Amino acid sequence: MELWKNSQSSYKIRLHIVTTVKCRKALLNNELEECIKETMNGISERYGIELDEIGFDQKSKY
């Protein structure tokens, strides 16, 4: 991720976003994960956002 600059400042913004889904074992399957990844990649291309990683944790006991 490069440093963004304009005439009076320079900046780099990094965000870590976490969302939770109740009963994720029943909801998050490979098809839905692919749909979410494609949607996020489309958003990143449209708005010029760099995505470092998109991950899913199915190790929960719920």
Residue 12 in any domain: the answer is no
Q: What is the pLDDT of residues 28-57, one digit of tens each?
A: 788 988 998 999 999 999 988 888 888 887
Model's pTM, two decimal places?
A: 0.65
User: pLDDT value at position 5?
Assistant: 79
Domain region containing 43: 22-62
Number of domains present in the structure of the chain? 1
Is 16 part of any domain? no
Q: What is the pLDDT of residue 40?
A: 92
Domain membership of residue 7 (yes or no) is no
Residues 16, 17, 19, 25: is their CA dihedral positive or negative?
negative
Compute the distance between CA of residue 34 and CA of residue 5 in angstroms, rounded to an integer.
Answer: 34
Model confidence pLDDT, tens digit, residues 3-22: 777 888 887 888 888 877 77
pLDDT of residue 21: 76
